[in-house]
Chains A and B, each alone.
Chain A
Amino acid sequence: DAGVIQSPRHEVTEMGQEVTLRCKPISGHNSLFWYRQTMMRGLELLIYFNNNVPIDDSGMPEDRFSAKMPNASFSTLKIQPSEPRDSAVYFCASSPDRGNTGELFFGEGSRLTVL
């Protein structure tokens, strides 16, 4: 299995631009998580889906952030408009069992820099 696949690995954009991050979870996993990692705040859960349905989006910073999971094999995290404070590494993770056992499988991350 290829693991969780994220794209792009690196994105540099200017303030105000729209950013779309993509994730392909491991086949057969029914839970998907989006995390953000920064030096200041560590690892934060933004949103998670179970069977393509958003379960908890309380970690989404504000309305500029949105996430979708149109099918079991694809999810997007969109930031519009982007701001410099959004610069971070964004991780997608999937789990086969709603994450109950805590065994999340992480992608390599998308490093976002907003100038």
Chain B
Amino acid sequence: AQSVAQPEDQVNVAEGNPLTVKCTYSVSGNPYLFWYVQYPNRGLQFLLKYITGDNLVKGSYGFEAEFNKSQTSFHLKKPSALVSDSALYFCAVRDDGGANNLFFGTGTRLTVIP
């Protein structure tokens, strides 16, 4: 069975500081991992994904994420936070076994403080 855990409901960071939003996962096969962002009253937008290859994945808006197989983690990071990064962030996973269902975490609300 697939599952995703986002241990923090809320993350606060000062503008200009680095940010990390945590995600751990569980799948039966090889994981396909994703990050999505949701701004208020909007749908989710794709940020980045890990399918295979380099463990460090770069995505939109300067975000990146590191796949760590031994820790089953896929934390989202950005070197310098912007106030406009404030949003709800979702980690998602599916396995490579053919099922097309993306399983989403419960989301982490990021607030960047000016």
Contacts and interface: CB of A to CB of B under 8 A. Distances in A.
A31 interface: yes
Contact of B43 (A56, A99, A101, A106): A106
Interface stretch (B11-19, B44-52, B64-72): B44-52
B43 A103 contact: no
Nearest to A50: B100
B100 A31 contact: yes
Contacts, number: 55
Interface residues of A, number: 23
A98 B113 CA distance: 39
Given A42-B106, A43-B90, A108 B43 contact: yes
B100 A104 contact: no
Interface string B56-96: 00000000000000000000000000000000001010100
B32 to A, nearest CB: 6
A107 B43 CA distance: 5
B45 A56 contact: no
A100 B94 CA distance: 9
Interface in B20-41: 32, 34, 36, 41
A107 B45 CA distance: 9
Contacts of B94: 102
Contacts of B46: 102-105
Contacts of B44: 43, 91, 93, 104, 106
A50 B46 CA distance: 20
A103 B106 contact: no
B30 to A, nearest CB: 13
A45 interface: yes
A15 B99 CA distance: 35
Given A43-B107, A109-B43, 13 more contacts: A31-B100, A45-B102, A56-B100, A56-B101, A93-B44, A102-B32, A102-B34, A102-B49, A102-B92, A103-B46, A104-B36, A106-B45, A109-B42
Interface of B: 32, 34, 36, 41-46, 49, 51, 90, 92, 94, 99-102, 104-107
